[in-house]
Structure 1
């Protein structure tokens, strides 16, 4: 019963947001609450689950609130103007070069395995360019989402760390055999970026785009620019990103302090500070509110044990006579599983059951880990409503979650299929 309600919760949620019957925030809250009531839980029990879920995402919610404020401030002061100008000089108004460049930059930045940092850096650099060239912003969110997928298999990402911990192995045993699959995934993503670029070049043509500081700005935007403080802002941002990547300070605390310092340095007058905060208020609210609503969603699914029941049901569907297909089935279903299971639920709940089942049939349990990493919260995390960074990505790109999923899901699944084929051909997993 719990398993059925769990799958129904996910299914109804996806249908409602993709068909735009409800807003994402409304669906994230109402669907699990109603399903929880149908499962027999009382208001007090559901309330405790909701609170537990909110507490779990609170640091991320705070991080994203102040991260949006910080990078919004840096855009206001013009920190990224030289970067944008250099990119536009190179691409010369060609959407194909912009989209392929987006993919390449995303992959380079995501070598650190941190989705949040990657999204903030890449989106800050490219969103103004997409707006100026009138490129479909779904392609921006989509290509960035695709590009982080293969790179998220690096051993130091949170997803890989969970798999390594669960299977009690080391990074080389899981990561090294998957390297050919990662390379195949990167090639696939670049192909998709090239295909998207051709479509946009055909639609828009190659424009004679020039970028001059302040040329396309409103009077209010010009008032916010601080060209004389460029190097101070650059050093502050580099220090922030370095500290974030090294993990020297908790990310939420880091961005709270950094955003306040950035406001104070660039806008000493209180009235100016208030104008900047108000100008980004809508984005801050949309991102943070979705994070806390997602906490309600995951809190009820976890607290009600629906996720545990779903994991057991998934494993029970595998016929014993086809046990040798277990790694391949795990790989093929890994990306869609990102829509059903949080990384903790999957790697600490589903993977142990799958690996134990594999061992009973004489299959190397590490193959289950390698197979899972080909999609579950690697390729799949930037499209999943269960991860906070997804909402950061769509919030920065100014697109709707349902539109984003409808646009990029099939291409993301394609990444997993390509990587699965490469893994089979190179022996990372076996039939």
Structure 2
């Protein structure tokens, strides 16, 4: 039993306790705990410096992707691009009880292209809340459907977990996302099925007498004040966003380069509007996210470049039956949803994913496959967990308690996790 392996597991336990009990900044934890664990494992200063530099070097592309993506989608949000698309979609729905719920799914999927939970809740709830209120639909349904949709959409490389997985496993986030796309599409279809099921239990008063104009008026009353943009520029913005997403899917260009190009073009098109925008919040968010990712490079370096990860993997392998080792990615995926209630996503991603990927790689399973096997079921539960800060914004906007939200939504997240994971296995994306 290697001391570095013991210190590695001690590092995971300390991180879990500190995240839950003391609420210490993740960046601080990523920079301090691995260094302490490394020195206690007997690594020299020279070795630690080398590990840390290599780790930071590996996560720089992910940090750049987050920074450029946040600014890119921030400009799109400030110019009202998402709101314009959503308003157009919502206005085309004839108000029946099923259509209101399906509309919520569609507008939530569009809103979460930004990758930000807070922005998504603001857009969707301010757009749909009045429709729910005027038709006496409990806002728990709005919170439930939007959260489920955000979860499925959160597999996007720039949304958070995918980028963190890429950083810790030293791979491209888009390569992980490509494996998740079929399950993501299937997941949206399943949320539509959930919306239809929920609509059968929801009684609305005089809803069939409402017209499309009523829908547009409801949206207009809650539409946030944004930068005024010409129709031509808005169409160009939508076109550029579409091109950027297509480039990410079909090309092998580094994601941060794609977003850098998109950010440059969208800034030039909206040059006059950019001067009026309140971009400081996006710049701050981009800096915070990039800083956290770079700080995680310290942990990634100490874990993966030293003997620590190998020792931890050997200890876990010794406890697993030989027949189970080649299925460890599926096992981790199956546990991703329930285990997220007792362990933060960061600890799962930075602590256990490298171990699982190491064991799986010995069975000729690519790291991208292991990452996708975790991300697909894990994404479903993200926007129900109390640790997800943006959930509390959504609850505040809806006037719904966390307990009501969990009661209404959690079992559906389990359904999504199981069905999306099962779908990926059945179609052969995840070897079993």
Shift of 1:310: 1.7
**Does 331-340 or 55-64 show the bigger shift?**
331-340
CA shift in 2, pair 1:329/1:300, >3 Å: closer
The one of 239, 246, 265 aligned to 1:261: 265
The one of 344, 351, 363 aligned to 2:360: 351
Instruction: Give CA deviations for 1:275-326 in whole Å, capped at 9, x if unaligned.
Output: 4432422222232222222222222211233222221111100256xx4x55
Q: Are 2:125 and 1:130 equivalent residues in the alignment?
A: yes
The one of 71, 92, 113 aligned to 1:69: 71
- The answer for the alignment partner of 2:244 in structure 1 is 240
- The answer for the alignment partner of 1:376 in structure 2 is 374
Q: Provide the rounded CA distance (Å) in 2 between the counterparts of 1:423 and 1:81.
A: 32
Shift of 1:8: 2.3
Contact 1:7 1:340 in 2 (8 A): no
Structure 2: runs of 5 or more not aligned: 130-138, 156-164, 170-178, 337-344, 383-387, 395-401
Q: Provide the rounded CA distance (Å) in 1 between the counterparts of 2:103 and 2:421.
A: 29
- The answer for the alignment partner of 1:145 in structure 2 is 151
- The answer for the alignment partner of 1:84 in structure 2 is 86
Contact 1:66 1:259 in 2 (8 A): yes
Contact 1:328 1:429 in 2 (8 A): no
Contact 2:27 2:291 in 1 (8 A): yes
Specify the SS of the correspondent of 1:48: helix
Q: Provide the rounded CA distance (Å) in 2 between the counterparts of 1:226 and 1:341.
A: 44
Q: Are 2:43 and 1:41 equivalent residues in the alignment?
A: yes
- The answer for the alignment partner of 2:115 in structure 1 is 120
Q: Which residues of 2 match residues 167-186 of structure 1 at below 5 A?
A: none
Shift of 1:48: 2.8
Q: Which residues of 2 match residues 305-320 of structure 1 at below 5 A?
A: 305-319=307-321
Instruction: Give CA deviations for 1:121-157 in whole Å, capped at 9, x if unaligned.
Output: 99877650134556687975664334667xxxxxxxx
CA shift in 2, pair 1:421/1:226, >3 Å: closer
Shift of 1:52: 1.8
Contact 1:9 1:32 in 2 (8 A): yes
Instruction: Give CA deviations for 1:244-286 in whole Å, capped at 9, x if unaligned.
Output: 22226432122223213222221248xx537443242222223
Contact 1:301 1:307 in 2 (8 A): yes
Q: Provide the rounded CA distance (Å) in 1 between the counterparts of 2:281 and 2:426.
A: 52
- The answer for the alignment partner of 2:12 in structure 1 is 10
- The answer for the alignment partner of 1:299 in structure 2 is 301
- The answer for the alignment partner of 2:234 in structure 1 is 230
Instruction: Give CA deviations for 1:59-104 in whole Å, capped at 9, x if unaligned.
Output: 121122111111111111122233211344439699854664478x
Contact 1:65 1:287 in 2 (8 A): yes
Contact 1:25 1:290 in 2 (8 A): yes
Instruction: Give CA deviations for 1:180-239 in whole Å, capped at 9, x if unaligned.
Output: x9999888766777899999x89xxx9986455696444xx34x5444522222222222
CA shift in 2, pair 1:53/1:268, >3 Å: same
- The answer for the alignment partner of 1:331 in structure 2 is 330
Specify the SS of the correspondent of 1:64: helix
Contact 2:380 2:413 in 1 (8 A): no
Residues matched between the structures, number = 363
Contact 1:28 1:293 in 2 (8 A): yes
Contact 1:33 1:300 in 2 (8 A): yes
- The answer for the alignment partner of 2:59 in structure 1 is 57
TM-score (norm. length: structure 1): 0.62
CA shift in 2, pair 1:44/1:237, >3 Å: same
